[in-house]
Amino acid sequence: MRGRTILVLVALMIASLLTAAPAVADETNSDLTVVHGIPGVTVDVYVDGENTLPDFAPDTVTDPIPLPAGSYEIEIYAAGEGPAPAAPADPILATTLEMPPGGNVTAVAHLDADGDPSLSAFLNDTSTALPGQGRLVVRHLAQAPAVDIVANGALRVFENVTNPNEGQIDLAAGTYGVTINAAGTDTVAFDAGDLTLPEGKSTIVYAVGSLGGGSFGLLVQSIDLPSPSAFGIGTVVHGVPGLTVDVYLNGNLTLPGFAPDSVVGPLLLAATDYEVAIYPAGANPLATAPAISGSTSLPAGANASIVAHLDADGKPTLSVFVNDVSEIAAGEARLVVRHTAAAPAVDIVANEALNVFENVTNPNEGQIDLAAGTYGVTINAAGTDTVAFDAGDVILPEGQSTIVYAVGDLDGGTFTLLIQAIPNLGPAGAFGDDNGNVHEANINLIALLGITVGTSEDTFSPDDSITRGQMAAFIRRALNLPASSTDFFTDDDNSIFEDDINAIAAVGITVGKGDGTFAPNETVTRGQMAAFLKRAFSIPASDVDAFTDDDDSIFEDDINAIAAAGITVGTSATEFSPDDPVTRAQMATFLARALGIGS
């Protein structure tokens, strides 16, 4: 999930690129930040011949400069030596910079690895971080060899970073002790001290100057990230033949090399606004204008499929379908057929006799619940027995929605079918032992997203108490935390959750029992659960005393925080039962609500 992030609302404008039309003008503003990381030289920065930043001092980070999307000439001169017509000076550095629509760009004047002045530009990732997380970006732009970036003395956040490259990761918001080590060693080259990662912000750290020359230092840029209040679950389908693209979402290369006939998902998606820029695969977005760009929004709450496809006339287009995830009756399966191909209206016929759907046009769909089983399916010209495409046998598993996309060009020889499956919609859901449980819907949600695999293939054990080791695994999967090379505790060596425990310890979600142990097999109480979630998701404190039975609990502040955030409603209107054990079913609901998707 680098985030499950949210990470991946891809191709919302992908169809526009595939028209092979020339790029259109886009007046959308981009933001340009300039960083001066060359020691000892004050400069003037010219943008398209205008002295935009006069007397720009070393170790300075500007506020964002709004610029319309487009191409700009950036020139840097020694202060007072600009391009005067009578006696023009040569710039110290110069480049052509492409500002992508809606992009957030930083241009950095710095030393290269050999100590010579250089100019590098970076497209900043402004996509949404998960609740409770901040983004850390480290850019090596100093006269220095390759380095590792280490947090809290144990978490190797980035390894073998060379000039002029970067590393990026989303971590639980908080304060981290950061050192810059010689690559592959524990030798500290520079102790950066404590670095605070605020929730919902991207903290960009620039290593500049000369390590050997005594001018090495760190500069920091902070960017606010969108903070959506809701999420959805989505799948992305690329049904346009023959074109591979790179999709940038809010400046983030969200899907590189997105190939035709691909189905990606399910994914946790932030409900927010997006600026999308789409390029031929492999293009540099800071040196190439996007083929097409645009703005779009994702509404909250739905399980949706986003499909790039051809319309009936063969022109690329985009359709969004909301998927029916209602319960399927025992013994039945759901078949959904979506006509998203360059083809006329069709009938969908099963077993040569059953006209499942009639006169389906692009971009429409048909849906039916049938007895689970195997069906011979043909796609016929509407109103006739003429088979346009023989799909062969289609298996409809019990309790599953099988979504069939007809994509490509029927006459052009690229027609094909793509399949998306939404499992566990039958009465049993993802597991057979939680039927009728009030938490079943949230159990199914976290199973769909891979946060749980249950206690066996078909059981979740909803009424079992959750252990501290299991809690670590749930949280690590929900936040997609990286592994830690440090063994924090002495009593988890035989636990299957040791890696999960070390991962949440490395980012400060747990400090264990205070005596060097974690007690992975101990039951988690509801009060302890509140503390885990408050730290994991950086939930702010609340002044509201939500419950009457936690006044003597050391976890009262944590309980009030998760209550104010809507993660808990207590065991009654006035009680939380802080000393009761947390069940696995309750934990599913707590996590789903913390992620913004739970009921």
State the maximum Cα–Cα separation within the chain, in Å, rounded to a whole number.
86
**pLDDT at 277 exceeding the cut of 50:** yes
Note whether residue 96 is domain-resident.
no
Note whether residue 98 is domain-resident.
no
CB-CB neighbours of 286 under 10 Å: 18
Assess contact for 416 and 391: CB atoms under 8 A: no
Note whether residue 453 is domain-resident.
yes
User: Which of 3-7, 105-109, 132-136, 503-507: highest mean pLDDT?
Assistant: 105-109
- Residues 465-492, mean pLDDT to the nearest whole number: 89
**pLDDT at 274 exceeding the cut of 80:** no
Choose one of 196, 225, 254: the last residue of a domain. Answer: 225
- Residues 473-481, mean pLDDT to the nearest whole number: 88
CA pair distance 359, 362, nearest whole angstrom = 10
| 547: containing domain | 440-594
Q: Are residues 332 and 369 in the same domain?
A: yes
Question: What is the pairing mode between strands 292-297 and 252-258?
Answer: unpaired
CA pair distance 512, 292, nearest whole angstrom = 51
Q: Are residues 461 and 587 in the same domain?
A: yes
- 194: CATH: 2.60.40
Note whether residue 561 is domain-resident.
yes
Token digits for 343?
A: 């083809």
Q: Tell me what percent of the residues of the chain surpass a pLDDT of 70.
A: 91
pLDDT in tens, 324-339: 988 899 999 999 999 9
Q: pLDDT grade, residue 295 (50/70/90)?
A: low
Q: Are residues 364 and 409 in the same domain?
A: yes
pLDDT in tens, 364-408: 999 999 999 999 999 999 999 999 899 899 999 999 999 999 999
Angle at 254 between CA 251 and CA 257, to 5 degrees: 120
Integer CA distances (angstroms), 581 to 158, 315, 488, 519, 528, in order: 38, 58, 25, 15, 9
Token digits for 507?
A: 């980012």
Choose one of 158, 190, 225: the last residue of a domain. Answer: 225
Q: Are residues 213 and 338 in the same domain?
A: no
Q: Are residues 411 and 457 in the same domain?
A: no
**pLDDT at 23 exceeding the cut of 70:** no
Domain count across the chain: 3
- Residues 506-511, mean pLDDT to the nearest whole number: 83
Q: pLDDT grade, residue 514 (50/70/90)?
A: confident
**pLDDT at 430 exceeding the cut of 80:** yes
Q: Are residues 525 and 446 in the same domain?
A: yes
Q: pLDDT grade, residue 296 (50/70/90)?
A: low
Note whether residue 291 is domain-resident.
no
Note whether residue 242 is domain-resident.
no
pLDDT in tens, 515-572: 889 999 999 999 999 999 998 887 888 999 999 999 999 999 999 999 998 999 999 9
Q: Are residues 164 and 220 in the same domain?
A: yes
**pLDDT at 86 exceeding the cut of 70:** no
Q: What is the mean pLDDT of the chain?
A: 86
Q: Are residues 382 and 516 in the same domain?
A: no
Of 163, 111, 104, the closest CA to residue 135 belongs to 104
In this structure, the dihedral spanned by the alpha carbons of residues 511, 516, 521 and 523, taken in order and rounded to 10 degrees, is -50
**pLDDT at 152 exceeding the cut of 60:** yes
**pLDDT at 221 exceeding the cut of 70:** yes
Higher-confidence residue of 13 and 319: namely: 319
CA pair distance 287, 422, nearest whole angstrom = 40
pLDDT in tens, 232-256: 778 888 888 988 888 777 777 878 8
Q: Are residues 480 and 585 in the same domain?
A: yes
pTM: 0.66
Choose one of 225, 256, 279: the last residue of a domain. Answer: 225
**Residues paired with residue 73 on neighbouring β-strands, in sequence order:** 96
Token digits for 596?
A: 């913004």
Integer CA distances (angstroms), 138 to 25, 159, 362, 476, in order: 33, 11, 47, 23
Q: What is the pLDDT of residue 1?
A: 33
Q: What is the pLDDT of residue 128?
A: 76
Q: Are residues 462 and 409 in the same domain?
A: no
